[in-house]
């Protein structure tokens, strides 16, 4: 009798252990790892997007591994609001982040970030580099998001040391800046902000090209640290979220010389349309103050003024070199996943936080609702994603949050975005029921432009009186409207909103935009 009872206990224990192990294994199979690649200021200037002058073999490699969206749009074309939106899956009018200073933890404390929610679902989460906007995130680069602390490594090669003001490694530039720094200190300017302002007033190059290893700049170090973190994560038995945020191609355009050498400056094409669009309201434009802050840029340039041709080519060359520099870093990460045999269990997403003007409409940088500022590269790869597919449906960055959760096998949460899995799964019968994307951009203290992008058109309304979607929509608030036809006029040379033949289209898009703004669920 005692033996029988003992055997029963042993068998029961074995069955329980077996079931627990299967459950554990099942969880590992069900929940996928996530590699989250954020690239600052990256427009679709990538070979896989048809830009054949670009040298981007690793981004092209990632594109072939999965699906690229040709009509992906940001919520707002500047990094603070854009990143707050993708990380929470919420529109700017719900995060209450429309600038570079607001922390969504303070403006919308009820919201949770994507990695924060994943922690509650059994994930290890960590990141390196720029995921949130640094100037508007909580301590620890939004410490609630990470189960393993976020890092910004600074172990630069001894030959070069730490870059001056985070960017510059040219010995001549560093020496000149060091002398200016002494002058600032002699004037009692000890705080970093006041000191750097003094230095930059005299010397702040918009680009730098010197020979050296990838690790002499931030993004090279981020890659090394990301691979180190990958190995730490793989020692655990939990699925992981690893965010890697690259700084380039943000200004200043600094990259090792070998990436500049991929391009011949005299062969670089300039923006084909460098005028203000016919009939477009002035509120649509900005005077690109971000780039005018650099010491080698004519600070008197304003709306409608063209940059000198030689400087345009230098800047575009620098942007292209920085894209190729980041492309090389992404290649190292893909190699690391492949070497560790985890590609089949890892969902990868790559996104730019907004596009970038490179002289079109005489504009530079971002900060608008034009196509060059709002359109971004968006790529998914991994389990559940069809390979080597291009998708033209208009989508938004808020869609990334629910899409990753569904691909990774994580229980969803209530956000503004929609899952794009029906467009990724290779099943022609699945689709999404929205045929437009929404962007917005504020101008001044009391104006907001809302833009709706379909497969062919963009319709934009500029509202005064500090209108936001959580306020009553009033036609009397509208101070300007735009309509662009990307089939007939891909460079946005004319605002067609008043033309007779477009009135039915304008009416339809206005109705869709108004309905959208009136039905955004308020958080």
Residues 6+ apart with CB under 8 A from 4: none
d(CA 251, CA 392): 30
Identify the burial level of 506 via C-beta atoms within 10 angstroms of its C-beta, where 0-12 means exposed, 13-18 middle and 19 or more buried.
Answer: middle
State the catalytic residue, choosing from 79, 209, 322, 365.
79
d(CA 196, CA 184): 8
79 in active site = yes
- Neighbouring C-beta atoms of residue 476, cutoff 10 Å: 8
State the catalytic residue, choosing from 18, 55, 101, 133.
133
Q: What does the DSSP 8-state code read for residue 125?
A: E
Token readout for 487 is 């089939």
d(CA 432, CA 402): 13
Alpha helices for 235-351 (secondary structure H): 257-260, 289-292, 309-339
Give residue for tokens 């460098």.
274
Identify the burial level of 127 via C-beta atoms within 10 angstroms of its C-beta, where 0-12 means exposed, 13-18 middle and 19 or more buried.
Answer: buried
Token readout for 343 is 């590609």
Half-sphere exposure in the Cβ direction for 516 (13 Å, CA): 22
Catalytic residues: 79, 133
């Amino acid at each position: 009798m005692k033996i029988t009872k003992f055997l029963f206990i042993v068998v029961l224990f074995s069955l329980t252990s077996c079931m627990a192990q299967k459950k554990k294994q099942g969880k590992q199979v069900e929940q996928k790892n996530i590699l989250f690649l954020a690239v600052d200021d990256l427009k679709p200037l990538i070979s896989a997007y048809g830009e054949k002058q670009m040298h981007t073999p690793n981004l092209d490699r990632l594109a072939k591994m999965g699906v690229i969206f040709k009509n992906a749009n940001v919520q707002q074309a500047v990094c603070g609001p854009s990143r707050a939106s993708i990380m929470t899956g919420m529109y700017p009018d719900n995060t209450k982040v429309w600038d570079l200073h607001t922390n969504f933890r303070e403006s919308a404390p009820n919201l949770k970030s994507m990695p924060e929610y994943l922690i509650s679902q059994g994930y290890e989460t960590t990141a390196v580099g720029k995921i949130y906007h640094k100037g508007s995130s909580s301590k620890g680069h939004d410490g609630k998001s990470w189960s393993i602390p976020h890092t910004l490594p600074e172990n630069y090669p001894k030959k070069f040391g730490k870059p001056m003001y985070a960017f510059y490694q040219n010995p001549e530039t560093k020496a000149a800046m060091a002398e200016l720094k002494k002058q600032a200190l002699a004037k009692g300017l000890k705080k970093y902000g006041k000191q750097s302002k003094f230095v930059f007033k005299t010397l702040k190059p918009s680009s730098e090209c010197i020979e050296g290893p990838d690790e002499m700049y931030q993004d090279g170090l981020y890659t090394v640290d990301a691979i180190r973190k990958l190995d730490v994560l793989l020692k655990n038995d939990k699925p992981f979220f690893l965010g890697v945020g690259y700084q380039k191609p943000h200004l200043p355009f600094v990259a090792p010389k070998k990436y500049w050498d991929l391009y011949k400056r005299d062969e670089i094409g300039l923006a084909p349309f460098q005028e203000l669009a016919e009939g477009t309201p002035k509120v649509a434009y900005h005077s690109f103050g971000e780039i005018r802050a650099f010491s080698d840029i004519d600070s008197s340039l304003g709306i409608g003024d063209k940059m000198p041709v030689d400087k345009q080519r230098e800047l575009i060359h620098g942007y292209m070199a920085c894209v190729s520099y980041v492309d090389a870093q992404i290649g190292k990460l893909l190699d690391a996943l492949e070497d560790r045999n985890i590609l089949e269990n890892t969902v990868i997403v790559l996104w730019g936080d907004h596009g970038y003007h490179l002289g079109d409409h005489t504009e530079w940088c971002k900060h608008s609702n034009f196509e060059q500022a709002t359109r971004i590269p968006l790529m998914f790869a991994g389990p559940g994603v069809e390979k080597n597919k291009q998708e033209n449906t208009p989508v938004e960055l808020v869609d990334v949050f629910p899409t990753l959760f569904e691909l990774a096998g994580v229980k969803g949460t209530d956000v503004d975005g929609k899952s794009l899995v029906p467009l990724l799964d290779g099943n022609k019968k699945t689709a999404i029921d929205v045929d437009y994307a929404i962007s917005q951009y504020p101008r001044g203290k009391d104006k907001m432009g809302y833009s709706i992008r379909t497969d062919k058109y963009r319709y934009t309304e500029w509202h005064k009186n500090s209108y936001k979607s959580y306020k009553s929509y009033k036609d009397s608030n509208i101070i300007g409207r735009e309509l662009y036809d990307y089939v007939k006029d891909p460079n946005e040379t004319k605002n067609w909103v008043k033309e007779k033949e477009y009135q039915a289209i304008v009416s339809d898009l206005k109705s869709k935009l108004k309905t959208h703004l009136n039905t955004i669920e308020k958080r």
